[in-house]
Structure formats: C-alpha cells, structure tokens
C-alpha cells in the first residue's frame, strides 16, 4: 500500500512510523507531510531517510492517508484526500458523523464495511477504556460507568511533552514555570480541564468518552460520566473505572474475561504489587488492566484501573490496525 502520513513530525506521526515498521506493514511507498515549519526535514523509516513534504492543497498520491495534524486540517482536507484515498483520521472532526465509522478493531471492525473513504480513529481515553470495558460489557452488560482519568502530557502532542520537560527543569531550578499548551503549569500539578467546557459543566474531552463509547459499543443506553484530568506524566493515560452491570458479576469472573481479551494485559496482583502504571504501559501495544475489585458503591459493580499508551492504542496503533483491516475481508 502507498501510505501518506499527515502530521508526520508530531507526537502521533512519529509513532505511526514506528508502528508501521514494528508490525511489518506492507508499505510500497511512504509519503510524509507536515507544515512549512518542517520543510527540509526528513524522518527515518526502515533505515531510509524520507523527506517531509509541505502538505499540498490537492489529493495525495497514496492509497491510505493516516491523518494526525489536528481537527482543523482534517476538516478542511479530508474530503479532498477522500477523493483518491481512504483516510484514517485521528482527529475528532468526523467521529460523530453518522456515515463515518468510528473503529476500534477489536470491537467493531464490522462497522467499517460501508465506509465512504473516511474512517475515524477514536479519542485516546475512550479507546483505552473500551479495551477493558467492551469485553466486560459483552459478558455482563454494563449500564453505568464512572471514569476518572489521569492523562499524560503527550495527549496534547509534542508541544505538551516539551512543555512538561522544560517546565520541570525550570521548576527544579527555582525559576517561574511558563505554560502555553496547558491552561496552567503542569509540573507538580494536576489540571482538571482537558479541552473546552460545555454548557452542562463537563469538558468536551469528557463528553467524547460518552459519545464515542455509545457509538463504538453500539449501545445508546449506556451511561458514562467522566472526569478528565491532566497529570504530569509524559506518556500513557490511566483511568480509574467504576461500572454497574446488569448481569451478575464478580472480580474472578471479570479476570477470566480479561485474561483472554484481545489487546489486554491483565496486571492484577496486589500482593506482588503488580498493577497498571504508565511506567510499565509505556511503549506497549496492549492496555494494562488491574486493581479489579467488587465495587462498594454499587450492588452489582466493579472497580478497576487501566493504563494504556495513548500514542499507541489511543492513536497510532489503532490507526494502523484499521489500515490492516482494509487489506483483508471483514469477518466480524
Ligand atoms: P509541524 O511539525 O511542521 O508543525 P502534534 O500533535 O505533536 O502537535 O503534531 C501536529 C502535527 O501536525 C505536526 O506534524 C505538525 O507539523 C502538523 N501540522 C500542524 N499544522 C499543520 C499544517 N497547517 N499543515 C500540515 N501539517 C500541520
């Protein structure tokens, strides 16, 4: 396949190169695109330097466009790219359009069948949550979900990572910490705001978790309440999750389900102090799930903790998995 990466120099773009390489994706030609700021740069793919091109206003000469340059760019150009290519879009620009499939391959690959050349990649927090929630939902039917997130700086792209690293050095040197990407300085702080506040008091990031969970799990009845918080880690989103189920559930039964769930690593050994963490989930394709226990708040509920590398399963890996599905007949 001829592949084009739009936003190749960004945090997700670089991971797209890494994932294509690691999964041995059959790339016949790779084109890399970014803004004029990146003119003259090149990036390494399979030992070869590939030049970064300034994104043109025209369709791109590739079979698949992996887009990760933000919602504004996708909104403007994806319809143009879709004239000649299949677009796998990492932004939220098209996720809620009824005729645009929103795909997590382990969950709803079948929904790709009728795509019209634009396929949306979910919000990173939602993708990581659903890797654990969906298998449990299939087994025990989830009704209400309460999620509190611990989201890393890289969720805000390369500039978020840089701001955290630079700000931490400034803080430790006793200097004032400047901030631009985040609403407040992130080092040694947590910020309970990701994206803009909505009329109902939730942020858009928090609402995305509800909207996208309902769409991907094809269950408009499921209720999800999220509090999304930025924390000073570089990679990996962690989430504390409480779920009320319709069918009887127990931690042992949940562990059995999650032990064989695709894309999940069950890391649940409190005595051995093994549980999901950014430290262990960084760079991993699978999402870690652990701390599974009977909820004390609901009669038939569970509490658990997940940690997933949001640049991978929350973005680049999921996008490449979608591209892989384009190559084979969809059977699920
Ligand atoms: P550039 O590095 O040239 O600014 P991140 O999510 O890490 O912030 O990365 C955003 C990505 O989107 C980068 O690769 C960035 O390129 C790219 N990008 C931003 N604005 C544009 C634009 N107007 N045209 C093409 N690419 C863009």
Residue 138's Cβ-side half-sphere holds a number of Cα atoms within 13 Å equal to: 13
What are the tokens at 100?
Answer: 């645009």
Residue list, ligand 1 pocket, CB within 6 Å? 7-13, 34-35, 37-38, 55, 69-70, 73, 157-159
**Topology (CATH level 3) of domain 2-122+315-325:** Rossmann fold (3.40.50)
Burial (CB < 10 A; 0-12, 13-18, 19+), residue 263, is buried
Nearest C-alpha neighbor of 26 from the set 60, 43, 51, 2: 2
Nearest C-alpha neighbor of 134 from the set 308, 253, 266, 262: 262
Give the ligand 1 atom nearest the CA of 34.
26
Give, for 64, the enclosing helix (H) or strand (E).
Answer: strand 64-67
Nearest C-alpha neighbor of 136 from the set 255, 314, 240: 255
Tell me the torsion sign for CA atoms 36, 37, 40, 44.
negative
Residue whose CB lies within 8 A of the most ligand 1 atoms, among 58, 69, 234, for a mutation test: 69
- Spell out the CATH class of 126-310: alpha beta
Q: State the pLDDT at residue 328.
A: 77
40: left (phi over 0), alpha (psi -120 to 50) or beta: left
Measure the CA–CA gap between 104 and 99, rounded to whole angstroms: 16
Give, for 6, the enclosing helix (H) or strand (E).
Answer: strand 2-6
7 Cα to the center of ligand 1, angstroms = 5
Eight-state DSSP code of residue 184 = S
Measure the CA–CA gap between 324 and 301, rounded to whole angstroms: 36
Residue whose CB lies within 8 A of the most ligand 1 atoms, among 34, 74, 77, 162, for a mutation test: 34
Asked about 237 being catalytic, the answer comes back as yes
Tokens 């929103």, residue? Answer: 102
pLDDT in tens, the chain (332 residues): 999 999 999 999 999 999 999 999 999 999 999 999 999 999 999 999 999 999 999 999 999 999 999 999 999 999 999 999 999 999 999 999 999 999 999 999 999 999 999 999 999 999 999 999 999 999 999 999 999 999 999 999 999 999 999 999 999 999 999 999 999 999 999 999 999 999 999 999 999 999 999 999 999 999 999 999 999 999 999 999 999 999 999 999 999 999 999 999 999 999 999 999 999 999 999 999 999 999 999 999 999 999 999 999 999 999 999 999 998 765 55
Residue whose CB lies within 8 A of the most ligand 1 atoms, among 17, 67, 70, for a mutation test: 70
- Name the 3-class secondary structure at 271: coil
What are the tokens at 305?
Answer: 């903790």
Give the ligand 1 atom nearest the CA of 157.
7
How many residues are recorded in the chain? 332
Q: State the pLDDT at residue 284.
A: 98
Name 2's Cβ contacts closer than 8 Å, sequence gap at least 6.
27, 28, 29, 30, 31, 61, 62, 63, 64
243 Cα to the center of ligand 1, angstroms = 37
Catalytic residue among 110, 114, 124, 226: 124
Task: For residue 283, count other CB atoms closer than 10 A to its CB.
Answer: 12
Where do the domains of the chain lie? 2-122+315-325, 126-310
Asked about 124 being catalytic, the answer comes back as yes
């Amino acid at each position: 396949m001829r592949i084009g990466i739009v936003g190749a120099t960004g945090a997700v773009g670089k991971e797209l190169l890494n994932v294509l390489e690691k999964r041995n994706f059959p790339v016949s030609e790779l084109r890399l695109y970014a803004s004029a700021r990146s003119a003259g740069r090149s990036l390494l793919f399979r030992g070869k330097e590939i030049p970064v091109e300034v994104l043109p206003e025209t369709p791109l000469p590739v079979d698949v466009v992996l887009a990760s340059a933000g919602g504004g760019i996708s909104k403007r150009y994806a319809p143009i790219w879709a004239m000649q290519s299949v677009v796998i879009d990492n932004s939220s620009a098209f996720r809620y359009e009824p005729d645009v499939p929103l795909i997590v391959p382990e969950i709803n690959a079948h929904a790709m069948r009728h795509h019209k050349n634009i396929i949306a990649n979910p919000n990173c927090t939602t993708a990581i949550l659903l890797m654990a929630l969906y298998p449990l939902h299939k087994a025990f039917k989830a009704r209400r979900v309460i999620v509190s997130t611990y989201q890393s700086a890289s969720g805000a792209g390369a500039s978020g990572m840089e701001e955290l690293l630079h700000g931490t050095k400034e803080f430790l040197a006793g200097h004032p910490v400047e901030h631009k990407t985040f609403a407040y300085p992130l080092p040694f702080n947590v910020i309970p705001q990701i994206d803009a506040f909505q009329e109902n008091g939730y942020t858009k990031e928090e609402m995305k978790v509800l909207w996208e969970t309902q769409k991907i799990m094809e269950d408009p009845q499921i209720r999800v309440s999220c509090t999304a918080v930025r924390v000073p880690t570089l990679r990996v989103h962690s989430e504390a999750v409480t779920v009320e189920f319709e069918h009887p559930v127990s931690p042992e039964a949940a562990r059995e389900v999650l032990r064989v769930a695709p894309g999940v690593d069950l890391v649940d050994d409190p005595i051995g102090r093994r549980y999901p963490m950014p430290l262990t989930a960084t760079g991993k394709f699978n999402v870690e799930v652990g701390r599974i226990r009977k909820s004390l708040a609901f009669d038939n509920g569970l509490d658990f903790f997940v940690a997933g590398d949001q640049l991978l399963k929350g973005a680049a890996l999921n996008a490449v998995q979608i591209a892989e599905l384009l190559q084979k007949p969809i059977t699920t």
